[in-house]
Structure 1
Amino acid sequence: MPNYKKEPDFPRVQGGGSLIIAWQVKNKQVMVVGGGEVAAGRILHLLNADADVTVVCPSSGLNPEVRHRVAQKQVTHVDRVFQPSDLDAVPSDAAAAPTPPAMVLVAIDDPPASTQIWKLCKERRIPANIADVPSECDFYFGSVHRDGALQIMVSTNGKGPRLAASIRKWIANALPRGGVVGNAIERIGVLRQKLRDVAPAPEDGPKRMRWMTKVSDAYSWDQMARLTDEDLDNLLKFYEANDVPALYLLKAMRGGRAPEDVDLFDGSFGFSVGV
């Protein structure tokens, strides 16, 4: 009888997508060319990511939102049209020391000028995004839902931005309201940092990951969001045993009580009256 070997059940490759990543631009110099509505959206994304933003655009081209960012000194404004030398170093009125931009975002109503900036960025190996021209983009902006530390991006790879926005709204409406998910993620983030202080060695990594998985599966989002700093410290007492306590036990430990000192009625004993 033939001995057929079963093929491994690996995920199927689906070409044509983008590599979805969380690009860390904190304290990095990012240049936005343009000052209209699209540029305003790009600037907000960058500021939310703690980037150092330089806007290159004549004052006459700034819309009210970008003008507000400039007035509040949230961005550095270069009041003129783009010049090729801008790619050699962020203009000298930037707060940080002049350096080449880490990325360039172009949002101007001038296709030939946009293409020229794209080509200049390619020569200098600077990642760039030319608004509404997918073929001249190293990366795309998706439709983003934000709730504290939670960020969900929906991308159509530049093919249907309006559809991406609709899908993002549908996902957001399916999530709990009132910042519950974002708060839960913040608390879990604090716990992870505390755990690294307790078990800092690289060889502790697999155990940390397994225990954090158990914690994440043990409590609901709402329960996680309500964990106090004391709860997190008490929770860490169960790490060595690779255990996760029931929520009622964790709450009973508040006020400095040790797990062995907690005496809770759990319904195991009692009586009933029959008729």
Structure 2
Amino acid sequence: MSFVDSNVPGLSLSHRLYNKTVLIVGGGEVAYTRLQKLVPTKSKIHVVSPKLDPKIIQEYGHLIQVVDSPMDAVVDELPLKEAVIFHTPRFFYLEDFELSKTKNKSINFITPELFESLTAEEISQRCEEIAFDEWALILICIDDPNMSLKLFQYATLKFPNVPLNICDKPKLCPIYFGAVAKIGGENGVDCMISSNGKAPRFAALLKKDIEKRYTDIDVAGSCNKIEQLRNALKKENIVQQHKGPIIPVRMGFLIYVTDSFGLFQCQKLDCEKLEHLFMEVYIHKTKELPSKESLVKYYTLT
């Protein structure tokens, strides 16, 4: 049974798990490394394991609530302000894949006619129920290879569209974890380095090297400035005045600006002046787009 060829590259995507529900089977060292990646996403995490690695308790003890089973977990307040970890302190049973004893089995059923008949409130409620009461990700992190395979196969059959990961079996995993270089702190840039499951430690070494190389870049400041400029160019008055498709024009302008200022100067963008430049070049057509050198010279904050 093999789903994956490590010589065929995967598609690297960022999976938003905010408010969604994740299952981890196992509470050891591997589970700890998974929690390091999951807790910042502010998701609802279920860990089923007789014991937890001491590092999990030390680092995430304030987030842990003990429950008898995943079915018994209740979130008092949504959306989540921080991740919550529900720990079921026993071995995992196949029945634990069920999240609700009284689940509405028809909640996933939808047709164009039914969708059009629902109110906005009913649609939102259904979306929330699926987000909070369906697994968004299943991670099997136990040492028993036979039980791991059994759980993986059962989950594959029961949840064919839920991303699955089984530790130490890269050829089975339709998804895998890369090393993520954090450049510029929590609000900076995430850079994923993946060996397609071949050599995770080598990817981790590359991650550390990248983080060291770019410590002097104001990543958060640069990203915030570019976001500010993007939002300014999406103003309704700009969109309405532009004749023809505006998205490719806006994207081209942002690429040109970002490339012109480069890695070390984007935090100095004068967004107000650049917004006026966009209007003059693409809306009023009273100016030509300046050279990259002129752009940096005249559109940098002083």
TM-score range, shorter chain: 0.7 to 0.9
Q: How does 1:169-188 map to 2 (within 5 A)?
A: 169-175=208-214, 177-188=215-226
Alpha-carbon distance in structure 2 between the residues aligned to 1:91 and 1:53: 18
Answer whether contact 1:142 1:155 (CA < 8 A) is retained: yes
* From 160, 175, 190, the counterpart of 1:139: 175
Alignment partners' CA distance in 2, 1:53 and 1:142: 20
1:66-81 counterparts in 2 under 5 A? 66=57, 68-73=59-64, 74-81=84-91
Does 2:198 match 1:156?
A: no
Residue 63 of structure 1: which of 45, 54, 58 is its match? Answer: 54
| Conservation of the 8 A alpha-carbon contact between 2:20 and 2:43 | yes
State the AA in 2 paired with 1:181.
Answer: V
Number of the residue aligned with 2:20: 28
If asked which structure has higher relative contact order (CA below 8 Å, sep 6+), I would say 2
Q: Which digits, 9 at most, give the CA deviation of each residue in 1:43-70, with x for residues without a partner? A: 1212223332222222x33332345424
Q: Does the aligned pair in 2 maintain the 1:57–1:78 contact within 8 Å?
A: yes
Question: What SS does the aligned partner of 1:134 have?
Answer: coil
Q: What value does the CA root-mean-square deviation take over the aligned residues?
A: 2.8
Q: 1:66 to 1:158 in 2, by over 3 A?
A: farther
- Give the partner amino acid of 2:197: G
Q: Structure 1's 160 and 122: CA in aligned 2 closer, same or farther, altered over 3 A?
A: same
Q: Do the aligned residues in 2 keep the contact of 1:128 with 1:139 (CA within 8 Å)?
A: yes
Q: Using the TM superposition, give the Cα deviation of residue 75 of structure 1 relative to its aligned residue in structure 2, in angstroms.
A: 1.9
Is the CA contact 2:44–2:85 (under 8 Å) kept in the aligned structure 1?
A: yes
> Counterparts of 1:197 and 1:50 in 2: how far apart (Å)?
30
What TM-score comes out, normalization by structure 1 length? 0.73
Q: Residues 135 and 129 (structure 1 numbering): CA distance in 2 closer, same or farther, change over 3 Å?
A: same
Number of the residue aligned with 1:52: 44
The offset of 1:30, in angstroms, is 1.0
| 1:196 positional shift | 1.6
Q: Quick one: which of 98, 101, 104 aligns to 2:135?
A: 101
Distance 1:76 1:186, change over 3 A: farther
1:127, distance to aligned residue in structure 2 (A): 1.9
Asked if 1:84 corresponds to 2:89, the answer is no
For structure 1, which runs of at least 5 residues remain unmatched after alignment? 1-13, 255-275
Q: How does 1:1-275 map to 2 (within 5 A)?
A: 16-58=8-50, 60-66=51-57, 68-73=59-64, 74-89=84-99, 99-124=133-158, 125=160, 126-147=162-183, 148-175=187-214, 177-198=215-236, 199-200=238-239, 203-227=245-269, 231-242=270-281, 243=289, 246-250=295-299
Contact 1:31 1:105 in 2 (8 A): yes
Note closer, same or farther for the CA distance 1:71–1:195 as it changes in structure 2 (3 Å cut): same
C-alpha separation between the residues in 1 aligned to 2:147 and 2:45? 21
Q: 1:70 to 1:31 in 2, by over 3 A?
A: farther
Where 1:31 maps in the other structure, the secondary structure is strand
Secondary structure, counterpart of 1:172 in structure 2: helix
Relative to structure 1, the CA distance from residue 163 to residue 90 in structure 2 (aligned partners, 3 Å threshold; closer, same or farther) is farther
Partner Cα separation in structure 2 for residue 38 and residue 182 of structure 1: 30
Q: Deviations over 1:103-137 (max 9, x none)?
A: 10111122122111101111121321011111231
**Matched residue of 2:245: which SS?**
helix
Residues 70, 78 of structure 1: CA spacing in aligned structure 2 closer, same or farther, 3 A cutoff?
farther
CA contact (8 A) 2:26 2:47 kept: yes
Return the letter of the residue paired with 1:56: V
Matched residues in 1 for 2:210 and 2:229: separation?
A: 27
Letter in 1 for 2:60: R
Asked whether the 8 Å contact 1:121–1:127 carries over to 2, the reply is no
Per-residue deviation, 1:178: 4.0
